[in-house]
Amino acid sequence: MDIVACPSSPMLAKRIAEIKNLKLAGVEYKKFPDGELYARIESKENEHAVVGSINSNDDLVTFILALEALNGKKIAVIPYAGYARQDKVFLQGEAVSIRAVAKIIESYAEKVITVNIHSSDAASHFRSLVNLDAMPLIGKYYRSRDVIMLSPDKGSLERVKVAASVANCDWDYLEKRRIDASRVEIAPKNIDVEGKNVVIVDDIISTGGTVLEAAKQIFGLGAKKIEVACVHAVLASFAAVKILSSGISDIIATDTVEKVFSRISVAEIISANL
Ligand code: R5P
């Protein structure tokens, strides 16, 4: 088997190749003046794992072209699967985007591997999906550190519980409480954050709106220091500069989306499932 790196995941693909002691195939990618993309893969193998997060339309098209260029058995490794937030019809007439992506990818690949795909609904559109959980890796990063972990909402609570159990620290989630008709208070459900080092843990940081709002509330309750940790550092719309200028000390992320904040690698868990 050869590993094929897509332009979105060069380091992660290299790490996986090193762990598995496999070769990285030679690749040529280019964009024509009219915006069309091109892929050519140099490999004599008959089995390949194509590694590339889908964080843009170009990422998606390049991934499809890489699959199309290959012969034999293909595994699609999509560490960050964009389009997964449109996992159902919310408004009549909408496309279920992740279903369309799943159909195309699975027309080429026998197996698909993702990391913390947005939801079980998104996962359900794949026939042969292995969806890995990077929360234990976030927990490991914080092991033996004096922190408490908070989920920005109840929806992410289960994820935070997993990270906190590995980190061996306390955890909680932010709850919205209505004080009266015009006032809403957002605070941790059970624990006191005053004077504490808090890590807000989420699966995705996209615009940063969720963690910025959470941090504002937690600082308001007297937290000493706040970091944010996530699996997928999408960091759209100047999110990184907004977060780091807000008093939040650091952004810790995995390498599902390769950023300067990617200090935790998912290479081992992907390698174990290839
Ligand atoms: C929501 O379902 C997710 O867990 C994240 O909280 C959300 O995607 C973060 O988005 P943003 O950074 O744009 O607030």
Q: How far is the CA of 3 from the centre of ligand 1 (A)?
A: 31
Domain end point (choices 133, 155, 173): 133
- List the catalytic residue out of 23, 31, 140, 176: 176
Pocket of ligand 1 (CB under 6 A): 152, 155-156, 202-210
Which is the closest atom of ligand 1 to the Cα of 119?
A: 2
Judgement on whether residues 121 and 210 belong to the same structural domain of the protein: no
In a domain, 271, yes or no: no
Q: How far is the CA of 270 from the centre of ligand 1 (A)?
A: 24
Judgement on whether residues 177 and 115 belong to the same structural domain of the protein: no
Closest CA to 190 of 177, 203, 209, 204: 177
Q: How far is the CA of 211 from the centre of ligand 1 (A)?
A: 8
Closest CA to 74 of 146, 24, 3, 15: 3
The per-residue pLDDT string of the chain (274 residues; one tens digit each, 9 = 90 and over) reads: 999 999 999 999 999 999 999 999 999 999 999 999 999 999 999 999 999 999 999 999 999 999 999 999 999 999 999 999 999 999 999 999 999 999 999 999 999 999 999 999 999 999 989 999 999 999 999 998 999 999 998 888 899 999 999 999 999 999 877 677 666 667 777 788 999 999 999 999 999 999 999 999 999 999 999 999 999 999 998 999 999 999 999 999 999 999 999 999 999 999 999 9
- Tokens 């989420």 belong to residue: 202
Cα separations in angstroms, 82 against 51, 138, 243: 14, 21, 22
At 184 the pLDDT is: 61
Domain extent, residue 67, equals 2-133
In a domain, 48, yes or no: yes
At 183 the pLDDT is: 64
Judgement on whether residues 143 and 45 belong to the same structural domain of the protein: no
Q: Whose CA is nearest to atom 8 of ligand 1?
A: 204
Is 176 a catalytic site residue? Answer: yes
Q: How far is the CA of 27 from the centre of ligand 1 (A)?
A: 33
Q: Whose CA is nearest to atom 9 of ligand 1?
A: 205
pTM above 0.85, yes or no: yes
At 144 the pLDDT is: 85
Judgement on whether residues 100 and 46 belong to the same structural domain of the protein: yes
Q: How far, in Å, CA of 151 to CA of 161, rounded?
A: 9
Q: 11: domain CATH number?
A: 3.40.50.2020
At 61 the pLDDT is: 98
Structure tokens at 140: 């490991």
Contact in structure between 81 and 118 (CB atoms under 8 Å): yes
Q: How far, in Å, CA of 218 to CA of 149, rounded?
A: 12
Domain count, the chain: 2
